[in-house]
Amino acid sequence: DQQVKQNSPSLSVQEGRISILNCDYTNSMFDYFLWYKKYPAEGPTFLISISSIKDKNEDGRFTVFLNKSAKHLSLHIVPSQPGDSAVYFCAASAHQGAQKLVFGQGTRLTINP
Amino acid sequence: GAVVSQHPSRVICKSGTSVKIECRSLDFQATTMFWYRQFPKQSLMLMATSNEGSKATYEQGVEKDKFLINHASLTLSTLTVTSAHPEDSSFYICSGLPGLAGFEQYFGPGTRLTVT
């Protein structure tokens, strides 16, 4: 039962363009969503988060959009840089869920020069 | 801020032996720490939630007698893989949660365990 899904295992984007990573969830109890970036053999690094009371949160080059009715969120990175190449995980949590995170499968983003 | 360390980063052990992995929050107090494992090209799977001073809460399907978790202080949690088998080979990652509220977990760099 995959409650958080990232249907694109990989994405390739040209440097300077916008990268859009997508994530869908099924559990309507989720009310907090996070994006993490991960390099091989390292732990995930927190990027940005959004509460279900918002539909957008922006931090520098990173913007997360949340569509609650569609149970969908996306991470926009603009402009994309070579250092953005990594695996991106979305994660979700329910306020009543003891702060546990449920992760998607990840999307490998490659930024081409 | 919010730095988490893990030790060791890599460990190779023989089948049947036990291995201890340490997770430390370096610049914050973590009342709650989490232990995950990740198989190649797969997601992070939560194994257990560790609360300081109390017993860990294990996810369904995780053997608590095999994966012993101790959260003795607000900055240290340990995971001991007992009687390790080759199928326990994996990448183990811990995370800490600063404070009692909030959801941003901060992750350690992970430990690669190989059981031969």
8 Å CB contact of A46 and B109: no
Phi, psi torsion values for B88, nearest 5 degrees: -85, -10
Give one word for B41, left, alpha or beta, with left for phi > 0 and alpha for psi -120 to 50.
left
Rg (CA), chain B: 13
Residues of A in contact with B39 (CB under 8 A): none
Beta bridge pairs of residue A23: A73
Q: What are A32-56's pLDDT values in tens digits?
A: 999 999 998 888 999 999 999 999 9
By DSSP bridging, strand A30-38 and strand A86-94 are antiparallel
SS (H, E, C) chain B: CCCEEEECCEEEECCCCCEEEEEEECCCCEEEEEEEEECCCCCEEEEEEEECCCCCEECCCCCCCCEEEEEEECCEEEEEECCCCHHHCEEEEEEEEECCCCCCCEECCCEEEEEC
Residues of A in contact with B2 (CB under 8 A): 46
Separation of alpha carbons A57 and A48, rounded Å? 8
Mean pLDDT, residues A10-25 = 98
Separation of alpha carbons A55 and B35, rounded Å? 30
Residues of A in contact with B42 (CB under 8 A): 105
Q: Which of A1, A99, A102 to probe by mutation at the B interface, max B CB count within 10 Å?
A: A99
> Could you tell me which residue, B103 or A71, shows the higher pLDDT?
A71
Q: Which amino acid is at A71?
A: K
Q: Which of B31, B57, B62, B105 to probe by mutation at the A interface, max A CB count within 10 Å?
A: B105
Q: What are B12-57's pLDDT values in tens digits?
A: 999 999 999 999 999 988 888 999 999 887 889 999 998 888 889 9
Separation of alpha carbons A7 and A107, rounded Å? 8
Mean residue pLDDT across chain A: 93
Query: Who among B2, B4, B105 is closest to A101 (CB)?
Result: B105
8 Å CB contact of B91 and A41: yes
Chain A contacts to B (CB-CB under 8 A): 32, 34, 36, 41-46, 49, 89, 93, 98-106
Q: For residue A97, what is the enclosing H or E element?
A: none
For the cut 70, the answer to whether the pLDDT of residue A81 exceeds it is: yes
| pLDDT for position B98 | 81
Separation of alpha carbons A1 and B56, rounded Å? 24
8 Å CB contact of B44 and A46: no
Residues of A in contact with B104 (CB under 8 A): 34, 46, 49
